[in-house]
């Protein structure tokens, strides 16, 4: 249900403009498919926190089948990927999973997502390109 209410980016130009137009807030983009189960779960969390974080972050959704411009550049091969940008710069976060470029697993807790977004925002304001996640997710992935 959350994917209905959150703004969608329908072209590569829209993605670029979303990243370029924000000077003071963190841009959070969920790349994936609206019909995917992981995306729906994450969209619900984003919808629930969007109002709480609106002063320092903005959330967008982008369908990787509709907008294929970034699939190869950002290696969007997972069903659901969340990426962060601040002042036209890609922000990285060390989640302990080995992939610092993006969040590619679903969080069940809204407060955890708010903490991650806030941590990345604070690091970005200080000029950091890589921040350490408030929680280590290295054992979160099940293989």
- pLDDT tens-place string over residues 78-124: 999 999 999 999 999 999 888 899 999 999 899 999 999 999 999 99
Indicate which CATH number applies to the domain containing 82.
Answer: 3.40.30.10
Distances (CA, A) of 42 to 8, 9, 98, 99, 104: 14, 17, 21, 18, 10
**Is residue 37 one of the residues assigned to a domain?**
yes
State mean pLDDT over 36-59: 96
Domain that holds residue 116: 3-132
**pTM of the full predicted structure?**
0.92
Percent above pLDDT 90 for the chain: 80
**Is residue 139 one of the residues assigned to a domain?**
no
| Helices vs. strands in the chain: H and E counts, helices first | 4, 6
């Amino acid at each position: 249900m959350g994917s209905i209410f959150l703004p969608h980016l329908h072209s590569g130009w829209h993605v670029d403009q979303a990243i370029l137009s924000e000077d003071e807030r963190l841009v959070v983009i969920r790349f994936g498919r609206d019909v995917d189960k992981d995306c729906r779960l994450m969209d619900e969390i984003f919808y629930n926190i969007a109002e709480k974080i609106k002063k320092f972050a903005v959330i967008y959704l982008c369908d990787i089948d509709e907008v294929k411009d970034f699939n190869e550049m950002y290696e969007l091969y997972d069903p659901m990927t969340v990426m962060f940008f601040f002042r036209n710069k890609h922000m990285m976060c060390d989640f302990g999973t080995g992939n610092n470029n993006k969040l590619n697993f679903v969080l069940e807790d809204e407060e955890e997502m708010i903490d991650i977004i806030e941590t990345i925002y604070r690091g970005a304001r200080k000029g950091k390109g890589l921040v350490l996640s408030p929680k280590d997710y290295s054992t979160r992935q099940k293989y």
